[in-house]
Amino acid sequence: MTTELFYNLVKLIMSFISTILTPIDNIILTFMPNVSIAFTRVGFLLDYISSGLGWVISLTGIPSETLSLIFLFYTFKLTAPFVMYCFKIGIRWYHYLKL
Amino acid sequence: MKKYLFILLFSFFILFFPKIVLADSDSSTLQLNIYPFSDSGYEYIFKWLNDTSNDYLDNLVSDYDYYSIWVSSSSSSNYKIYNVNIYASNVAYSIRNTYNTQNYSYFGPVGTDKFNQKYVLTFYKQNDYSDFYKNTTFTSENKITNIGLSDSLITSQQHSDSGVEFGSYIYFYRWSFASDLVKSWSMNIYMNNVVLKSNTTRNILVYNNDTLEEVVTINKGEIIQGYRELVLSKPSYLNGYKKVTLPVGKQYTAISGINKGIVYVPAESYAGYYPFLMYYQNGLEYQPYTNIITNNSLTSDSQYVMIPFDFSGMNNIDLVMFSKYDYLEGVDNVTYDIYVPNDSYISEVLVTPNNLGGNDFSFDYEDLNGNSHTESFSVYDEDFIKKNELFNAMFENFSKNFFGLNSIISRPLDLLVNITDSSCEDLVLVLPYVNTSITLPCMESIYTTYFGNFFTIYQFLVSGFISYWVLIEMVRIVKGFKDPSYDKIEVFKL
């Protein structure tokens, strides 16, 4: 559940980013297509670099269980405070309304 | 410093990645992004096939319509396929990719669970039949669907032969339009902002049923837009038809002699609920067809839900059940349309199970030999399933483009989402101008071979330090919860 929450939070952020940037991207694509192509190529470059991530991890020799532990930790780190924050907000609202 | 680094990377990219095909999409189109590495001798062929008569395909997809997109080059090539996104309605897909189209070598089915609406993408090497790309699974849903393959799942493929036409097929296996209820079905291929940067004019050939429909010519620097719509007819193999009407309530129908086919479920009766499909193996218990249960979410604009099923390969299938629950208000009967192969033997018996409490049921029935049985079974916690579906549905309608600024900013987040799927693959570095490549093998096997126990000790120590660090950080975070003023939400920094 927390992993799902984490995934979807990231997806939501990505969707917001896309919503904001898509009109700008379309304007650039229409009026400055070469610039748009250049941006896209940078994106592909990043993707190309990231395609070697698995190999780099294998180069470090870190076992997959440890990697899973790291990922789970970051999942916790990025989701648990958010849940706690929401919980605290709820309590604050409760106290405020109670007054 | 950062500026110079950016310029360096940008120059590298401009030099070594000379051509690009970009594609954009809207909510009802198919998107295929193809990215070639080399600068010589390419043409892109989008070839759509609808032919189930070929032997070499019958072994794999004899019961399917299939549609393919063929990406080929007329000379030796290195190319890369990004982000196969499929937008279509009421379809179930499988995707397969191979190359060496000259002799139509097809190297096995996509995956083993293509009937379960989780589809496995497997790419195969030409010679040794080993996986070319890593497998991935994705889900098809009965609505406008975007099946996005993560960028990180796709790696480059290459070969050094020349004089042979090479290409990649991506197949979309689709279950059936045997229903008169569905008059037609369409799939759009949408190519937007296709830009060719080489000096040579290239063609995009659009095929349907092996008939060349149109040649779209692209000149250097030209940006084209366009889409093709395919209207498809039902496949001939599913002409068997049966209509089953069930009263609302815990009613089940048991149909023997069918091991594959499609169930059409009227969506308006089922919005938010889940039709059940179960099977029985002679001498064994009834078992729910799990993936169908959990993966059929309906939308208000859906007319029908198609539930393909296939129990081929299971011995002694005695009974197939279709069932539903009694959550429908104001609906007395629900009619299922079941389409099966022509030679299927169908017999039907309506059974009413006894509710044993909770999610447990039992019912009595007679098998094909006239013997009486009592079977009990459990169904899934529907509330949980519904909540899960609703939770996921919140995020399904979001989309993003794959070009421009967005392609840069969203990459790290994409990587973050996909990092758990990352596993080591041989890293192939293509050297420009000399038309050769360097393959860097995964290091773990090398470490194990040459360092043996020392490598194990190293892993032990590294895991220990990391675990210790994780523990310390976890304690720090939990302690922070006790501080009323602690409101650090790191996910917002993403």
- Report the residue from B400, B442, B474 with minimal CB separation from A58: B442
The mean-pLDDT minimum among A13-17, B311-315, B413-417 falls in B311-315
State whether the Cα torsion B229-B233-B236-B237 is positive or negative.
positive
Q: How far apart are CA B301 and CA B231, in angstroms?
A: 20
Contact B277, B288 (CB under 8 A): yes
Nearest CA of chain A to the CA of B75: how many Å? Answer: 23
Q: What is the mean pLDDT of chain A?
A: 77
Q: Give which of B344, B367, B334, B484 is closest to B63, Cα–Cα.
A: B344
Contact B79, B71 (CB under 8 A): yes
Find the helix packing angle between A2-31 and B382-396, rounded to 10°. 20
- B130 versus B241: which is more confidently predicted? B241
Nearest CA of chain A to the CA of B346: how many Å? Answer: 42
Q: What is the mean pLDDT of chain B?
A: 47
Q: How far apart are CA A88 and CA A83, in angstroms?
A: 9
Amino acid sitting at position B436: T
Q: How far is CA B272 from CA A6, B289, B296, in A?
A: 25, 18, 9
Q: Tally C-beta pairs within 8 A across A and B.
A: 213
Name the phi and psi angles at B131, rounded to 5.
Answer: -60, 130
State whether the Cα torsion B459-B462-B466-B469 is positive or negative.
positive
User: What strands lie across the sheet with B65-73, from one edge to the other?
Assistant: B166-174, B65-73, B42-46, B202-208, B211-218
Q: Give which of B211, B153, B198, B187 is closest to B44, Cα–Cα.
A: B198
**C-alpha torsion B474→B477→B478→B484, nearest 10:** 180
B395 contacts on A by Cβ (under 8 Å): 8, 11-12, 15
A23-45: pLDDT as tens digits: 787 787 777 777 777 777 777 67
DSSP B461-486: HHHHHHHHHHHHHHHHHHHHHT-TT-
- B323 versus B28: which is more confidently predicted? B323
> Over pLDDT 70: what percentage of chain B?
11
Give B 74-93 residues with CB within 8 A of chain A.
82
The mean-pLDDT minimum among B35-39, B102-106, B274-278 falls in B102-106
Question: Which residues 6+ apart lie within 8 Å of B384 measured at CB?
Answer: none
Kindly state the DSSP code that residue B90 receives in the 8-state scheme: S
Q: What is the pLDDT of residue B307?
A: 59
Cβ–Cβ contact B401 with A under 8 A: yes
B262-305: pLDDT as tens digits: 666 655 544 444 445 555 555 455 555 543 333 334 333 344 55
B422 contacts on A by Cβ (under 8 Å): 53-54, 57
Q: How far apart are CA A65 and CA B163, in angstroms?
A: 46
Nearest CA of chain A to the CA of B265: how many Å? Answer: 29
ipTM: 0.73
Q: How far apart are CA B427 and CA B420, in angstroms?
A: 18
Q: For residue B70, give both structure tokens.
A: 């063929």
Q: What is the pLDDT of residue B280?
A: 57
B319: which strand partners? Answer: B280
* pLDDT of residue B468 exceeding 90: yes
* pLDDT of residue B477 exceeding 70: yes
Q: How far apart are CA A16 and CA B288, in angstroms?
A: 39
Contact B69, B32 (CB under 8 A): yes
Cβ–Cβ contact B443 with A under 8 A: yes
Q: For residue B208, give both structure tokens.
A: 């349907």
Nearest CA of chain B to the CA of A93: how many Å? Answer: 14
* pLDDT of residue A14 exceeding 70: yes
Contacts 24+ apart (CB under 8 A), B135-140: B135/B111, B136/B421, B137/B111, B139/B295, B140/B91, B140/B92, B140/B93, B140/B295
Cβ–Cβ contact A93 with B under 8 A: no
Contact A61, B444 (CB under 8 A): yes
Q: How far apart are CA B430 and CA B105, in angstroms?
A: 25
Which range of B36-40, B142-146, B283-287 scores highest in mean pLDDT? It is B283-287
Q: What is the pLDDT of residue B81?
A: 33
Cβ–Cβ contact A10 with B under 8 A: yes
